[in-house]
Amino acid sequence: MTDTSRLSGVLSPVVTPFKDDLSPDADRLIKQCQWLLSQNVGLAVFGTNSEANSLSVEEKIELLDRLVEAGVDTSRMMPGTGCCALTDTVKLTAHAANLGCAGTLMLPPFYYKGVSDEGIYANFAEVIDRIGSEALRIYLYHIPPIAQVGFSLDLIERLITRFPKTIVGIKDSSGDWDNSHAMLQREWDDFRIFVGSESFLLANMRKGGAGCISATANVNPAAIDHLYQTWEADDAETQQAALNAIRNTVMAYPMIPALKATVAEFSRDEQWQTVRPPLINLDPEKSAALMAGLRGMNFEMPGL
C-alpha cells in the first residue's frame, strides 16, 4: 500500500546562510529555499551540509518557524532533527512534525561510539513514543563517515517492523553503493531509499530507489532532478556523466565552504561565503580556481 505522504525525488541539504555576527540569516535561507523549490528540488534543511550541527535547537526552531511563516511548502520539507541528546531530538522533531513538515531526517545519537543496535533502537523507540504523533514520518540518516554511528540492515528492519507507519525511509550517505544496494534488495514495503550522492542516482533508480539527497543539489538542482525525472531515457548515462563532472569539480574542495562559495558567486552575494567555526571559509585562491573550473564547464545557476 502506498502512503502518499512519503517523499521521493531530489532533495537538497540546504546550506545555511550566516550574517557577519555568525547568526543564521532567515531571509536569505527563505530565498534560497524558494529558488530550490523552483528547480523542483525538496528541502532537507538542517542536513550535514547545512552546518546543522553547528546550530542550537533554538536556532533551528526559529529558522523553521520563519520558513513556514514565509509560506515555504512544508510538503517538500524534510528537516534534519537528530541530535546527540534524546531530549533535543524530541523537541526539534516534535516541532517539525507540528509545523506539518512531510518528514524528518534523523541522525542517530552520534557522540558515544561503538554503541549497540539495541541502544540505537531504544533511542528511536523513545523518540517516537514521546512524540506520539500519527503524522510523524522519519527518514533514517546513515552517514558513518561523519557520524561514526550508523544503521545496520538488521536494525533498519527491526525499526520498520515495529514502526511501519513512522520509519519510512533512509538517506544512505555511506558513500558505499553496495550498502544502498543491499538495502534495496531487502524490498521493504514502500521504504524510501535515497542515496546521499547523485553519483549513485541512476543506479538507485534502476533498482527501485526513491531518489537522492545530495550536497550538490544546492548548486546543480535542475540537472539532478532532470535525471531523476528521465532516468529511463536513452541519454541517462550521458546525464549521469555530466552530473558526476560537476560534482567532482566541487568535491575537489572542502564541501561546505565550496558550496557556499559557489552560491555566493552565482548569486552575486558575498555574504553566502560565511561559515561557522569549526569550518573555515574557502580561501580566495581556491575559490577562484573552483569558479574557473565551473565556468569552464559552462555551469550556471539560472534564476538564483
Query: Would you tell me which residues interact with its own copies (CB under 8 A)?
Result: 22, 48, 53-59, 84-88, 91, 108-113, 115-116, 118-120, 122-123, 126, 145-149, 276-280
Nearer to its own copies, 86 or 236 (CB): 86
Shortest separation between residue 108's beta carbon and its own copies, angstroms? 7
The C-alpha atoms of residue 138 and residue 78 are separated, in whole angstroms, by 9
Q: Are 280 and 257 in contact (CB under 8 A)?
A: yes
Nearer to its own copies, 88 or 269 (CB): 88
Nearest to 72 by CA among 105, 26, 107: 26
Nearer to its own copies, 124 or 188 (CB): 124
Q: Are 190 and 2 in contact (CB under 8 A)?
A: yes
The C-alpha atoms of residue 283 and residue 260 are separated, in whole angstroms, by 12
Shortest separation between residue 204's beta carbon and its own copies, angstroms? 25
Nearest to 140 by CA among 130, 131, 153, 132: 153
The C-alpha atoms of residue 229 and residue 215 are separated, in whole angstroms, by 19
Shortest separation between residue 132's beta carbon and its own copies, angstroms? 14
DSSP state of 213: E
Nearer to its own copies, 184 or 290 (CB): 290
Shortest separation between residue 262's beta carbon and its own copies, angstroms? 19
Shortest separation between residue 60's beta carbon and its own copies, angstroms? 9
Nearer to its own copies, 76 or 95 (CB): 95
**Which three-class secondary structure state does DSSP give residue 80?**
strand
Count Cβ atoms within 10 A of the Cβ of residue 58 and give its class: 0-12 exposed, 13-18 middle, 19 or more buried: exposed
Nearer to its own copies, 39 or 89 (CB): 89
The C-alpha atoms of residue 41 and residue 181 are separated, in whole angstroms, by 24
Shortest separation between residue 49's beta carbon and its own copies, angstroms? 10
